Amino acid sequence: MKKHKHLKIIFIVSLLLVHQAGCMPDTEQDEKHPEYKNGISVKFRSAKKGSLEKSLGKNTYNQIGLFLAGKKSEKYKKIQRKKYYKTYTQAINDSWNQITAKNLEEINKWNNLYFSSGIKDSSTLFYPFSGPDFLYADAFFPNADSYFLVGLENPGKLPNIAKMGNKKRAAYLHKLLHSLRYINEAGYFTTKQMMTDFADSNLNGIIHLLLFYISKTGHTLTEISSVVVDDYGKIKEKKNFQVEDKNPNGIKISFFKESSEEIKTLYYFPFDLSDENLKDNIGFLMFLSSLGQKNTFLKSASYILHDDDFRLVRELILKQSKYILQDDSGIPYSILKNSGYNVELFGNYSRTIKIFAKNFQPDLQKDLLKKASGQLYFKLGYNSWENEMVLLLAKKSNETVNQPVTYKRNKETVIYKVQFKSSWKKIPVNSKILKGMPPVDYYFRDGLYKYTIGNCSNQKECEKLIKIAVNNGFTDAFTVAFYQKNRISLEEAEKLRDL
């Protein structure tokens, strides 16, 4: 019962929030603030803190972060006088004080004692299977200049705080507070929990928690924009989130530490890192590879990297990471030892939780008992419920960190067809018009049904099909190309084939 005490407190406070808002009018005339519309970005190019501060008072991104973190916000100061907001702030601060005393202060001590070279390292941090956990990325790697987080959850959209009205706003704060229950208690998010928590129309993705943590950890937000990785592994900024795009859409958040002038960047991408999906989206793998030497953080990763279905991202991490900091749910200990890493072990380890029993590592337990480098006085991860915590700190010399890793596309992923007719109406495949033609396929684009023949591996093969189409009266037949079932230009097709 003791381990669930903190969860019960959060639940009770959340009920108070909703009750207090229910006693108030739902709208207010003095809260007509223009809000950030998703995709509109105010850019801050200067890296000088002083020049930024003059603009930040009106920066909606930073003001939202302050509001969510329970800090003073000039933009939302009238709302912050409400009783339900004060209740929320008290709950957030109480929870934060517990996390600071229980984990963050102890992590800082451990860092200084065992990982001082790592915390001084400003290298890019790669944190796969992270969800919105900037909190512990910052705790262990506070000097990283860029953070690349990857999870399955959608980014979501920024909240329209001023226009919510009291009841919706209180409910939103209640749900945000409730979404922190597992990471506050055990230091991780669960996929199942996030699927439920982020299904709300207002709390609709991980951006809410990212802004909360960035602000709560003493950072100032300067810019947010949408990004996409193209088929060539290049990252591009976009004006709007495009959910229907086949490429992984993410967010880019810029910020700086209040005690520093350096602008940092966090990228988050909702992406399935399995081999099957990476092979279908090789551009994203090329993008990760292009980051070069990096540090990697793995925690509460569902032992996914024990599975050969995730071999590609595992090999990328092993080839390009100077430091790998992880618990037992990351890369198997035996693989780390055989990949050129010097591995230090910390904490204690006697089990896995029941659903991951098959992933218990006897060699890790044996070596930890023989040569542990130190104990851990903070608790993160699955075994924290059983008062256990294990960390593996793997280091590779600069000379043996390979960069970049190159990947080849399968040329057969580009398919060429001969398009011979377009029509407003769908034509039956047994129509007299199509008599004498090879098997016919079609695709729908720009309001037209477009009919094709063939599945060729190059343009040369299509020349015979064009002659067949012309002989059957379709004199305007021409070659088209498809990649991952999407029509692309012939020029782009040739570039893809050359990669």
pLDDT digits (tens, 9 = 90+) for 43-55: 333 334 444 444 4
How large is the average pLDDT for residues 116-133? 88
Rounded alpha-carbon distances, angstroms, from residue 61 to 36, 51, 142, 231: 8, 17, 21, 30
pLDDT value of position 17: 52
The pLDDT of residue 190 is 61
pLDDT in the model for residue 334: 97
What is the structure's pLDDT at 205?
Answer: 85
318, pLDDT greater than 90: yes
3-state DSSP call for residue 253? strand
**Higher model confidence: residue 93 or residue 37?**
93
Whole-number pLDDT of residue 29:
36
Residue 20 has pLDDT above 80, yes or no: no
- Rounded to the nearest integer, the mean pLDDT of the chain is 83
Q: Residues 181-205: what's their mean pLDDT?
A: 65
Report residue 399's pLDDT band, with 50, 70 and 90 as the boundaries: low
Of 2-11, 334-343, 356-365, least confident by mean pLDDT is 2-11
pTM of the predicted model, to two decimals? 0.74
Q: 147-186 as b/e, with b when 16 or more CB fall inside 10 Å? A: bbbbbebbbbbbbbbbebbbbbbbbbbbbbbbbbbbbbbb
Q: What is the pLDDT of residue 258?
A: 81
What is the average pLDDT across 447-473?
93
Which pLDDT does position 189 carry in this prediction?
Answer: 61
| Domain spans, the chain | 51-396, 415-496
pLDDT at 304 over 80: yes
CATH topology of domain 415-496: Alpha-Beta Plaits (3.30.70)
The C-alpha atoms of residue 43 and residue 25 are separated, in whole angstroms, by 36
Residue 201 has a pLDDT of: 66
Cα–Cα distance measured from residue 395 to residue 377, given in angstroms and rounded to the nearest whole number: 22
Mean pLDDT of 399-420: 74
Residue 484, helix vs strand vs coil: coil
Ordered DSSP codes for 404-434:
----PPPGGGEEEEEEEEEESSPPPTT-GGG
What pLDDT sits at residue 2?
A: 43
Q: What is the mean pLDDT of residues 89-114?
A: 92
For residue 325, give both structure tokens. Answer: 């900091």
pLDDT given at position 47:
39
- Residue 494 CB partners (closer than 8 Å, separation 6+): none
SS3 call for 123: coil
Q: What are phi and psi of 460, to 5 degrees?
A: -60, -40
For residue 344, report the phi and psi dihedrals to the nearest 5 degrees.
Answer: -100, 145
